[in-house]
């Protein structure tokens, strides 16, 4: 099932023994277009800390009650390594977290999640997390904030398609399949879906997302459509 990650913001997070807070943001891999972490706002419980939650820890999502159940205890989360609230999450931060939880490291393999296409957790950890940064190094784009990218202008080869208003994410693999684009008011109102495979790059300093499409392609997609087959 596809979920709009933007609409998950504010969803309550329930550990095995009680709630811990709400979803504040999502960090995604700018090269492979997959959600690596949800960021939890824990209120006064762990004030001043960013809490990273990888899809390895996700359980059932109750969309009616707006609760994401976690396969972790509050104590386990509380004891997780701290991450600075003012710096980008580094690979060394990730290694500390993966070692703490015993998760298989996604950077030690060729698939989306290491040796698998989904963030499954084996009975015993299958990958060491203390290897030298893994075989597959992240590109310079690194991890991106979904909240920060929301509102970016979507630049086609010959025009502006609109602004990013959300991201459609596969709730099993947590791969980001499509960008939801709000069409400008001077054209037909509504949303356009553009495949992440068409994204050429993200220019954060100028709030732009570049796509390998022309405005004629966008017009063929139409409101709430899908990208044409290349």
Higher pLDDT, 109 or 149: 149
Cα dist from 221 to 63, 166, 208, whole Å: 29, 17, 20
Confidence label for 44 from pLDDT (cuts 50, 70 and 90): confident
State the average pLDDT over residues 163-179. 96
- Please check whether residues 141 and 201 belong to one and the same domain: no
**How many distinct structural domains can be found in the chain?**
2
Domain that holds residue 192: 150-221
* N- to C-terminal Cα separation, the chain: 24
The pLDDT value recorded for residue 115 is 83
Asked if residue 155 and residue 75 are part of one domain, the reply reads no
Q: Is the pLDDT of residue 154 over 60?
A: yes
Do 89 and 26 lie in a common domain? yes
Tens of pLDDT, residue by residue over 182-208, are: 987 655 557 899 999 999 999 989 999
The answer to whether residue 227 is domain-embedded is: no
pLDDT score at 6:
92
Instruction: Give the model's pLDDT for residue 39.
Output: 93
CA–CA separation, 66 and 9 (whole Å)? 10
**Rounded to whole angstroms, how far apart are CA atoms 7 and 28?**
16
**Other beta carbons within 10 Å of 1:** 9
12 shares a domain with 96: yes
Q: Which of 161, 196, 176, 158 is nearest to 2 (CA)?
A: 176
Share of the chain above pLDDT 90, in %: 61
Structure confidence at residue 228 (pLDDT): 43
State whether 101 and 25 are in the same domain.
yes
40 pLDDT above the threshold of 60: yes
* pLDDT (0 to 100) of residue 224: 54
User: Mind listing the pLDDT tens digit for each residue in 107-132?
Assistant: 888 889 988 899 976 655 544 544 44
pLDDT of residue 37: 95
CATH code: domain of residue 95: 2.30.30.240
Whole-number pLDDT of residue 226: 44
Whether residues 71 and 110 share a domain: the answer is: yes
pLDDT of residue 121: 66
The residue-averaged pLDDT of 154-179 equals 95
Of 145, 178, 195, which marks where a domain is finished?
145
* CA distance linking residue 130 with residue 139, whole number of Å: 20
| Tokens matching residue 91 | 């690979």
Answer with the one of 118, 145, 172 that is the final residue of a domain.
145
- Compute how many other C-beta atoms are within 10 angstroms of the C-beta atom of residue 38: 26
Residue 198, token pair as written in the block: 């068409």
Contacts 24+ apart (CB under 8 A), 168-171: 168/2, 168/3, 168/4, 168/5, 168/193, 169/2, 169/3, 169/4, 169/5, 169/35, 170/1, 170/2, 171/1, 171/2, 171/3, 171/61
Would the pLDDT of 169 be above 60? Answer: yes
| pLDDT value at 141 more than 70 | no
Mean pLDDT of 95-99: 90
Specify whether the CB–CB gap between 202 and 29 falls below 8 A: no
Calpha distance 1→35 (Å, rounded): 15
Question: What pLDDT, on the 0 to 100 scale, is given for residue 85?
Answer: 66
Residue linked to tokens 């997609």: 221
For residue 112, what are the contacts with CB-CB under 8 A and spacing of at least 6? 32, 34, 106, 118, 173, 175
Residues 100 and 51 in one domain: yes
């Amino acid at each position: 099932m596809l979920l709009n990650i933007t609409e998950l913001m504010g969803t309550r997070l329930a550990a095995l023994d009680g709630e811990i807070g709400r979803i504040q943001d999502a960090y995604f891999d700018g090269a492979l277009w997959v959600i690596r972490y949800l960021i939890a706002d824990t209120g006064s419980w762990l004030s001043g800390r960013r809490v990273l939650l990888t899809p390895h820890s996700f359980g059932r999502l109750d969309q009616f009650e707006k609760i994401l159940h976690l396969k972790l205890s509050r104590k386990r989360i509380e004891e997780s390594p701290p991450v600075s609230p003012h710096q980008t999450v580094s690979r060394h931060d990730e290694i500390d977290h993966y070692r703490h939880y015993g998760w298989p490291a996604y950077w030690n393999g060729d698939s989306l999640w290491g040796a698998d296409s989904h963030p499954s957790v084996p009975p015993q950890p299958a990958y060491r997390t203390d290897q030298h940064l893994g075989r597959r190094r992240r590109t310079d784009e690194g991890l991106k904030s979904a909240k920060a990218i929301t509102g970016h202008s979507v630049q086609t080869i010959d025009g502006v398609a609109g602004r990013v208003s959300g991201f459609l994410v596969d709730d099993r693999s947590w791969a980001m399949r499509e960008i939801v684009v709000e069409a400008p008011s001077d054209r037909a109102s509504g949303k356009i879906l553009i495949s992440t495979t068409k994204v050429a790059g993200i220019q954060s300093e100028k709030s732009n997302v570049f796509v390998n499409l022309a405005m004629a392609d966008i017009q063929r997609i139409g409101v709430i459509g899908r990208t044409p087959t290349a």
